[in-house]
Structure 1
Amino acid sequence: MDTKSDRQRAADGASTLVNGDGVAGIVGAFGAEATLDASQRAERLQTPFLSGDAANTALTERGLSWFFRAGPDAADYGGAFLSLLRNAELPGQERRRVAVLYSNDATGTDLNSIIAEYGEEAGYQIVASAPYEPGDADPAAAVGAIQAAAPDVVLLATAAGAGERLGNAFRTSGYTPPAVVVYGAPAEAARLAAIPGFAGRVSRQVSWSLPITRANPLAAAVTERYQHDFGVAMTAEAATAFTAVTIYARAIEDAGSSARERIRSALVAIDLPGSATIMPWNGVRFDGTHQNTLSATAVEQDTDGSFATVYPRDLATTSVNWPPPGSAAPATAPSSAGSGTRAASTGARNG
């Protein structure tokens, strides 16, 4: 059932699936707001609800008995970003100054709060925190606030369709951040990297990507089958949905029943190794809040028009390529049609 990104439709859809179709469990609902409302309805209907990728921390802070999240939450993504910063530091090098440019919605404000808390604890200076409206066609004010702060790294929480708009706003201002790490749909990072001046400066946080599958025989086989059946490469959204259904299948098998209460109990007790999933995780095991404690996140950086893994070190295929802290951001002529100069390598490697 398609929620059409509407909160009420998502909640009503959960009721229809349970009462009309008699489902044993629900996977969804992708967007944070839709997932919040749909899972709350599933809770009242005492039906398991498994989210594969909605990262909002509030989802597992409600104390629900029937909700489970398989993928990383915003705290995991925030922690990975700060770990990437640490890994990119050379001995004796000053710490990079960070700015957060975030969508003014549940997903963006959640990440901003996480970075404000974790960044201070880790000793990083957050020099600017600027929100933009997800549907704003001209986010110049937010971009101007980032430019005025002159950060070394911008953490960018992108709403759907915002990557290109934000990149164009930076280009119009004549300013390109030295490095940008994108939190959001991987496609938004690709659109940003294609804006003149951003080549080689864009990284993205992912819970899954095709290059990572090379380390996992099961993932390689599944992505090959997906390509064969659908004629296109598997996406992160497809991978997380596939994984959620895989978890349900194991829970139903363990329960020996399609009864919802028994499936819920099996999910509480599930313990899958990483090799049983197609994700770059250590496995699936839910804690008391029903967050998967074995999920993980990776970071990829744009390199010559494609994205290569730079974090974590056991999956990295290349080094982080950022200018040293304090380097002046290159100006980008608004009328320029060519791509900007690539950042000079710091020589830093993950580990």
Structure 2
Amino acid sequence: MTPLRLACSVAAVALLATGCTAPEPPPGPVVVGMLAPLSGPSSDTGADAVRGAELAAAVVNDTYPELPVPLGPGTGLPGLRGATLTLVTADTGGRPEPAIGAITSIADSRHPVGLVSAESAAVTGALSSQAQRLRVPLIDAGSTADYLTELGADWYFRTGPSDSQLAESAFALLGRAPDTREDAVTLVTESGEDGAVATRQLRELAERSGATVSGQLEVPSDKPDAEALAASLGGGPARVVFAWARTVPAATAVAAAVARGEAGVTLFGLGEGFRALKQPGAQDPGLLRAVPWSAEFAGRSPVAQQIAELYRQRFGRPMTGAAVDAFTAVLTLAAAIDVAASDDTAAIRTALRQTTQPAAGLIVPWNGVRFGPDGQNVLAAAVVEQWQDRSYRLVYPVELATGPARWHRRDRAP
């Protein structure tokens, strides 16, 4: 027997004699699919979302002992013996047809245990239907449309607030304004099926809050015209405009129309268009918008500050709302995979339905994450920002606000 074989034999006998066995290696990486518009008009938002998802995967896979977020301190998924996450990204193109092709391709080639969508309501609806057929959990990190939770898809989950939750925060703030409480409200929505649904919801919420709806207007999706809208708004009784927009051009047109109109009109913006609106325009309408996350909140939250700094170090740019939404969704999915201690999609879906994440481990101003029977996070919340002095300032809820809301354009500082 050669010396090498003799040494190996002695080592094997010693191992058996002591009853020890070699530690079982962790399983292979767990695949998560990330679906985002990396081409088309929303490509910038899609790229931000992918960066947020990549940061979440890095937090899970690497060790961050001082980071008080789920799965931050350890390496990998402890429930799966340290297995890591592999993020597979696909371009949806911002349209339902290529999005369905993208989700099908990922499912066939990489067999993900979960999916995250950073898309509009229309595209996410198509992705949700396909995820239902594939029997893979889908986390919605981009849309807010209420109807998505009413489709009966039991593989669909949304981490952020719905349009109703966002609008409720806006009406709650309106109720605190001493000089607008009795004002009439005009509803302005972008054309399309989603806009019709938003109009009904806003009317119901307005009536529930005690506001009087004096009229409703529609902004064409294909050619939003600020001048025409300003003419329609002019001379009416409404002192408050509640607007919902799916696209940034429509949101821009509404903001411009209110700015051009009669002084003293308060504008509330809702929908994906206003959330993505970087600034209202040259003329400042004093825009108030309800959003799931605020950069000012992040600046005062120790957890959010740490994540934002990691993001800046990794990507060389500030963290955006789209990145925050995707980061939260991927981390939520990873926590469910860890609780399930399995790569079985049905077990992961069950874990999503049964687990709760406390607010302390989140970088968003919510009360936590707990999914209801319809897949909506019932602990999601909204904040209201106002465009003041060339930036968005957090004005509601009052316990988080950095300053008061400025009511009516006549009250704004020059």
Instruction: For 1:80 and 1:137, locate their aligned partners in 2 and report how far apart those are by CA, in whole Å.
Output: 27
Higher alpha-carbon deviation: 263-272 or 138-147: 138-147
Letter of the 1:163 partner, please give it: A
Instruction: For 1:276 and 1:94, locate their aligned partners in 2 and report how far apart those are by CA, in whole Å.
Output: 37
SS at match of 1:227: helix
Instruction: For 2:282 and 2:305, locate their aligned partners in 1 and report how far apart those are by CA, in whole Å.
Output: 31
Letter of the 1:306 partner, please give it: S
TM superposition shift of 1:135: 2.5
Are residues 1:119 and 2:206 paired? yes
Instruction: For 1:232 and 1:220, locate their aligned partners in 2 and report how far apart those are by CA, in whole Å.
Output: 14
TM superposition shift of 1:344: 1.7
TM-score normalised by L of structure 2: 0.73
Give the aligned partner of residue 150 of structure 2.
61
Are 1:98 and 1:125, in contact at CA under 8 Å, matched by a contact in 2? yes
Instruction: For 2:274 and 2:319, locate their aligned partners in 1 and report how far apart those are by CA, in whole Å.
Output: 13
The match for 1:130 among 217, 242, 249 is 217
SS at match of 1:101: strand
TM superposition shift of 1:175: 4.2
Are 1:53 and 1:70, in contact at CA under 8 Å, matched by a contact in 2? no
The match for 1:153 among 232, 237, 240 is 240
Instruction: Classify 1:112/1:294 alpha carbon distance in 2 versus 1 (closer, same or farther; 3 Å).
Output: same
CA RMSD of aligned residues (A): 2.2
SS at match of 1:26: strand
Are 1:281 and 1:296, in contact at CA under 8 Å, matched by a contact in 2? yes
Are residues 1:222 and 2:310 paired? no
CA deviation string 1:108-160 (max 9, x = no partner): 33322111112112210111211112231525444433224242121222323
Instruction: For 1:296 and 1:94, locate their aligned partners in 2 and report how far apart those are by CA, in whole Å.
Output: 23
Give the aligned partner of residue 314 of structure 1.
399
Give the aligned partner of residue 343 of structure 1.
410
TM superposition shift of 1:20: 2.1
TM superposition shift of 1:86: 0.7
Are residues 1:210 and 2:295 paired? yes
Instruction: For 1:187 and 1:253, locate their aligned partners in 2 and report how far apart those are by CA, in whole Å.
Output: 32
Give the aligned partner of residue 56 of structure 2.
none
Letter of the 1:237 partner, please give it: A
Are 1:182 and 1:189, in contact at CA under 8 Å, matched by a contact in 2? no
Give the aligned partner of residue 99 of structure 1.
186
TM-score normalised by L of structure 1: 0.85
TM superposition shift of 1:208: 0.7
Are 1:252 and 1:266, in contact at CA under 8 Å, matched by a contact in 2? yes
CA deviation string 1:273-325 (max 9, x = no partner): 011111100100011111100000100112211121111122111112113xx
Give the aligned partner of residue 279 of structure 1.
364
Instruction: For 2:221 and 2:251, locate their aligned partners in 1 and report how far apart those are by CA, in whole Å.
Output: 10
Are 2:170 and 2:289, in contact at CA under 8 Å, matched by a contact in 1? no
Instruction: For 1:170 and 1:96, locate their aligned partners in 2 and report how far apart those are by CA, in whole Å.
Output: 16
Residues matched between the structures, number: 322
Instruction: For 2:293 and 2:343, locate their aligned partners in 1 and report how far apart those are by CA, in whole Å.
Output: 29
SS at match of 1:302: strand
The match for 1:248 among 333, 352, 360 is 333
Letter of the 2:117 partner, please give it: G
Instruction: For 1:79 and 1:170, locate their aligned partners in 2 and report how far apart those are by CA, in whole Å.
Output: 22
Are 2:383 and 2:397, in contact at CA under 8 Å, matched by a contact in 1? yes
Give the aligned partner of residue 258 of structure 1.
343
TM superposition shift of 1:41: 0.8
Instruction: For 1:217 and 1:170, locate their aligned partners in 2 and report how far apart those are by CA, in whole Å.
Output: 37
Give the aligned partner of residue 71 of structure 2.
none
Are 1:189 and 1:204, in contact at CA under 8 Å, matched by a contact in 2? no
Instruction: For 2:229 and 2:171, locate their aligned partners in 1 and report how far apart those are by CA, in whole Å.
Output: 22
Are residues 1:164 and 2:252 paired? yes
Instruction: For 1:289 and 1:22, locate their aligned partners in 2 and report how far apart those are by CA, in whole Å.
Output: 25
Instruction: Classify 1:36/1:176 alpha carbon distance in 2 versus 1 (closer, same or farther; 3 Å).
Output: farther
Higher alpha-carbon deviation: 33-42 or 121-130: 121-130
- Bigger Rg, structure 1 or 2: 2
Give the aligned partner of residue 85 of structure 2.
none
Instruction: For 1:39 and 1:177, locate their aligned partners in 2 and report how far apart those are by CA, in whole Å.
Output: 43
SS at match of 1:154: strand
Instruction: Classify 1:255/1:294 alpha carbon distance in 2 versus 1 (closer, same or farther; 3 Å).
Output: same
Are residues 1:295 and 2:380 paired? yes
SS at match of 2:326: helix
SS at match of 2:347: helix
Instruction: Classify 1:137/1:83 alpha carbon distance in 2 versus 1 (closer, same or farther; 3 Å).
Output: closer
